Structure 1
Amino acid sequence: MAITQSPQGTDTAPGTKTSKHPKGLYYLFFSEMWERFGFYLMLAIFFLYMIDAQNGGLALPKSEASDIFGTFIALVYLTPFIGGLLADRKMGYRKAISMGGLLMALGYCGLALPGNLALFGSLGLIIVGNGFFKPNISTLLGNLYSEPQYADQKDSGYNIFYMGINVGAFAAPFIASYMRNNYGWGYAFAAAGIGMFIGVLIFWMGNKHYKHVDVLKPVQANDMSINRILAIVILPALLAGIAAWFFIPGNVFGSDSTDAFLFGSLPIVFFYVSLWAKASKEDKSPIAAMLAIFAVVVIFWAIFKQNGTALTTWAQYYTDRSLPESLEKPAQALGMVQYVDNTTRTVEAYDQNFRTTTDASGKVVTKEGVDPYLNNLPKEEWPAAGEEQPLISPELFQSVNPFFVVLLTPVVVAFFAFLRRKKAEPSTPAKIGLGLLITAASTLIMVGAVFAADNGMDKSSAWWLVGTYAVITVGELCLSPMGLSLVSKLSPPRLTALMMGGWFLSTSIGNKLSGVLASLWDKYDDKQYFFMVNCAGALLAALAIFAMLKWLRTIIQTHTGKQ
């Protein structure tokens, strides 16, 4: 048989399988890497920027800053619903990705400007931009693997793509810390914007490798028009959110913004259910399978996204972050050092939620009037009067998870490839269930940390957090890229980006619920029960997946010929 040049530029016989990946994967890999670099750089310092009152920050109260942060991180995963829809029906994937990347880049740079208008306008640009970028780059990747010669490589392709996400996420907190400590907040946000511009440029450079799979799907007779979706989904979502914010007495889910978000999400959830209800006989089963997966993985994101709340609280107050003297200067040069002292400050306010006090400048101090890090440290280990103790900045623990993703992705990919050769590879939904079991195990490591720290009376070793992140990373690698792969496998072609938006909707709801769970931190006098509740949630979600496993495998095998 003659060998012909494939559309991706690789020498592959048409219709034959290959162990290679399409060339477009690598351009999408680096585009996503730079996009995630900008996003996680911004996230690493955004909360700190909002509460900073001494170095040019916004000097917002912590409660207000937390509410803004939680709402933002939820909304950036909600807008992929409309971004995926418009790409599917009107724009195409490349145009949507390009526009989304440019909007995000402008948003990051805009955060360097003063004033509330710049703040909320920039956040709006990032939220909308992510809606166009995030679901469509994942869909475009899936389209590259829709050709028969690459079909068997789809799961590993998504794993490689996912590693690109985490290369950017790993580097971001270090660059963020260095830029803001040495040059200021504005330069740090500008660095995020520059990273996003680089990502868009790389995406354009790879255009020829994926333009052939950027094809608008024909709309079928029973598909809703965009105008109808706007009228019966988006508008009701906005009205439900506004009504929940202003007219529901009390706080059903803990805050006005949480009520508004969750009630506003209901019309979108109903829309996805209606897709299943009105689907053809051929499409009904795969849509049902995806909706079931979406519902279950909400629990994973509700636990996983506590890395920015509960686990960061543990890192800040209960983890030994002391730095050897020999490493102080290199760490300082990299912007990794935070200093504490035992200077007594005048107490002006008392925060019952955090059991701490704030001084006139807004700095959190303990009841004894010193930095809260010293609160559970024996006084003989406090720095001497007039001296400062160098500590590892708590936000740098955010790099541990992406570090392990980069380190362990080749291991996980190789492990499943080995099982594939032995014809023992788990099905995609089984991998998701396995990921939830591993997530449950990670929460038990934090139960061990609570015991080691005598329920917060002492400092625990940083290795407890490192171990927790290592284990949950394995769970993440079994779940998150597999979910993206599953959506790509099962979605009706004309609905692929829209269903990818559904995956990110589940992420969005999970993100918001993570804040609800984390807000209960101070309700638990014994912190082991906080983590045990998370463990129970992950186990229940895993049981739900395994209970549906036979049904899910049958659907996948029917519609793809594989499990």
Structure 2
Amino acid sequence: MHNQSQPRGMVYVVGVQAWEYFSYYGMRALLILYLTQKLLFTDQHAYALYGAYTSLVYVTPIIGGYIADRILGSYWSVIIGALFMVAGHTVLSIPTSDNLTLYTALALIIVGYGFFKTNSSCLLGELYKKNESARESGFSLSYIGGNIGAFVAPLACGYAAQTYGWHYGFGIAGIGMLLGLILFLTGRKHFQDVEKIRIDVIRAKTLGIPNGPLLVVGILLSVAFFSVILAHLWAGYMLAIVGAISLFLLAQIYIKCGEVGRKNLWAIIIFMLFGTLFWAFDQQGGSSINLFIERNVNKELFGWTIPASFYQSINPFAVIIGGALVAWIWRFLAGLGFTPKTLSKLGTGLFLLTLGFFLINTSSQLAMSTGHTSMLWVTVGLGLIGVAELFVDPVALAAITRLNPANATGTLAGIYMLLSGAVANYLAAWIATAASTETVHGKAISLTDAAQNYHHVFQSIFLIALTGFVISIVVNFLTRNKLALDSGK
């Protein structure tokens, strides 16, 4: 009989993950507003830097995972990552308008994210025995904890930024990460059986120099490296290199696969393409939609102006509530002996994305006449997009692990996360740039012109999302019984 109880270390891992979400999404809710209103960046520059940052945080976990596997282990990688993120938010909380400080702070967070993100999940996995049935519920708690952190963060950080100043908002995000690290360290005794630092590798020498000092120097140089990448907006070149490597790996997997494996690989590629499209649109929430809310949405409610950053809590709230509802629906349908097909679930996600942008596009169209529009349209629209997430990443990753062509699940999952994370965020910034408007001291010169620019982008997204949804239906019909996407096929 399997042990149903959760390992005690789970509480500490989930706790630090929740605070990591708090710090990341709290800072993310403020970043585009800070760049345009405090540092007075043009919209184009702000979108480009925002996209570079949010794409690079999905690249570094590949490197951080490699170092953890071979040298540090997941436990110490989580600690190092958390320390770097605390340092980054601390630098952001320094009241200065120096751009070098900004780039250094973001680079510190990028490096910290690399050590923390995937390794915290790997550490959680290490706490469970291979066949322990409590594993799935443990990861579900991790998912819920993260979204709770993401929900609270924009409210806390946004309030601090509006009431006391931008750097207090960033400081709250850093304090959250520090609290998470302290909580994690108090549970050290529960991680005695996880992978330890490989002292032999640390002491070994490369070109006559011990690996330990080389690693320290390499980490510090990486901060400087990413600072330069951000300052010159060179993230696209880095993504091009990483993307080329990913294509090479996909080609290798294709060659190794048999006929069935190649069919499965094509099915996974379908998810990669749709996933990248979905997230390139979804991530408008932190950039173009964020500025649209700030400039064109009437945020007055009972005599109080709701900060634009607060709207960033709608997405995680929708994920939490929608997740419970979707889980109930799956159980209800299973009780009736009906299980929706994988591509049908993906199509549902694209439909909800399309509907969400239809409402946001309607909101921008209404704002074109007076410069302002009701908060209702964008609020419901963001909620629908949040629920749509439940039909994309979880479904895609489950399909990848089920199909497993050429026993390359880890590589394919990594490529999917790279495309749907790094590449999608970079594309999201490029799309948002089309919504740029002229500003003076961070404020739009003409609110009606700004609304027209946002409408142009949101309408294009709506039409492309609608096309993607139709294509998903066609693909679903044409590949019926041809792709083994679902169990039992």
Which residue is equivalent to 1:46? 31
- Counterpart contact for 1:441–1:535, Cα < 8 Å: no
Q: Deviations over 1:145-204 (max 9, x none)?
A: 7843428x73x6555432222211111122212322344333332322221123234444
Per the alignment, residue 222 of structure 1 pairs with: none
1:214: how far off?
Answer: 5.3
* Compared CA separation, residues 489 and 157, structure 1 to 2 (3 A): farther
Is residue 189 from structure 1 mapped to residue 170 from structure 2 by the alignment? Answer: yes
Task: Tell me if 1:404 matches 2:318.
Answer: yes
- 1:509 maps to what in 2? 423
Question: What is the aligned counterpart of 2:18 among 13, 20, 33?
Answer: 33
**Matched AA of 2:15:** F
Give the match for residue 272 of structure 1: 249
User: Structure 1: 5+ residue runs without aligned partners?
Assistant: 1-12, 217-240, 246-254, 329-390
Aligned residue in 2 for 1:136: 119
Letter in 2 for 1:314: F
Deviations 1:436-485 (A, max 9, x none): 2322222222344355x174546332111111122112211222334444
Query: What residue identity is the alignment partner of 1:449?
Result: S
1:158 and 1:484 in contact (8 A); partners too: no
Q: Is the 8 Å Cα contact of residues 524 and 530 (structure 1) preserved in structure 2?
A: no
CA contact under 8 A between 1:442 and 1:471: conserved in structure 2?
yes
**Contact 1:445–1:468 (8 Å) recurs in 2:** yes
| Aligned equivalents of 2:330, 2:278: Cα separation in 1 | 21
| Equivalence for 1:319 | 297
Q: 1:269 to 1:196 in 2, by over 3 A?
A: same
Conserved? CA contact 1:430–1:545, under 8 Å: no
Provide the residue aligned with 1:471 in structure 2. Answer: 384
Distance in 2 of aligned mates of 1:282 and 1:28: 41
CA separation in 1, counterparts of 2:301 and 2:108?
Answer: 39
Distance 1:196 1:526, change over 3 A: closer
Query: Aligned-pair distance for 1:70?
Result: 1.6
In 2, distance between residues paired with 1:493 and 1:90? 27
The gaps in structure 2 that reach 5 residues or longer are: 198-225, 436-451
How far did residue 289 of structure 1 move? 5.0
Residues 166, 403 of structure 1: 8 Å contact kept: yes
Deviation at 1:77, TM superposition (A): 1.3
Q: Percent identity between the aligned chains?
A: 28
Listed one character per residue, the Cα deviations across residues 28-84 of structure 1 (whole Å, up to 9, x for unaligned) are 3322210010011111222333344xxxx4444443333222211111112222223
**Are the aligned partners of 2:80 and 2:112 in contact in 1 as well (CA < 8 Å)?**
yes
> What residue in structure 1 maps to residue 309 of structure 2?
395
SS of the residue 1:299 aligns to: helix
Matched, 1:148 2:125: no
| 1:165 counterpart (138, 141, 146) | 146
Alignment of 1:511-550 (within 5 A): 511-521=425-435, 529-539=459-469, 542-543=472-473, 546=476, 550=481
* 1:72-471 correspondence runs (5 A): 72-113=53-94, 114=96, 115-141=98-124, 147-150=130-133, 154=136, 158-205=139-186, 257=234, 259-260=236-237, 262-277=239-254, 279=256, 290-325=268-303, 328=304, 391-426=305-340, 430-450=344-364, 453=366, 455-457=368-370, 459-471=372-384
Q: Secondary structure at the match of 2:301?
A: coil
Inter-CA distance 299–61: structure 2 relative to 1 (3 Å threshold): closer
Change (3 A) 1:543 1:89: farther
Contact kept in structure 2, 1:159 and 1:481, CA below 8 Å: no
Tell me whether 41-50 or 182-191 shows the greater mean CA deviation. 182-191
Alignment length, in residue pairs? 437
SS at match of 1:92: helix
Stretch deviating more after TM superposition (542-551 or 105-114) = 542-551
Distance 2:389 2:195 in 1: 29
CA distance in 2 between partners of 1:190 and 1:395 (Å): 15
Report how far residue 509 of structure 1 moved.
0.7
Deviation by residue 1:113-170 (Cα, 9 ceiling, x = unmatched): 443443222211211221222223334455667843428x73x655543222221111
Contact 1:88 1:494 in 2 (8 A): no
Q: Distance in 1 between the 2:418 and 2:460 partners?
A: 26
Q: Distance in 2 between matches of 1:414 and 1:121?
A: 45
Distance (whole Å) between structure 1 residues aligned to residue 323 and residue 330 of structure 2: 11
Counterpart Cα distance in 2 of 1:493 and 1:207: 38
RMSD, aligned α-carbons: 3.9
Deviations 1:405-441 (CA, angstroms, capped at 9, x unpaired): 2333222223223334444343556533432232222
Aligned partners of 1:548, 1:213: CA distance in 2, in Å?
43
TM-score, structure 1 as length reference:
0.66
SS in 1 for 2:59: coil
Task: Work out whether residues 105 and 196 of structure 1, in 8 Å CA contact, stay in contact via their aligned partners in 2.
Answer: yes
Higher helix share: 2
Alpha-carbon separation, structure 2, partners of 1:66 and 1:450:
19
Q: What is the one-letter code of the residue matched to 1:307?
A: G
In structure 2, C-alpha distance between the alignment counterparts of 1:479 and 1:490, rounded to whole Å? 16
Please report how far the alpha carbon of residue 284 of structure 1 lies from its aligned counterpart in structure 2 after TM superposition.
5.5
Secondary structure at the counterpart of residue 148 of structure 1: coil
Change (3 A) 1:426 1:493: same
1:91 and 1:281 map into 2 onto residues whose CA distance is 37
Q: Give the partner amino acid of 2:109.
A: I
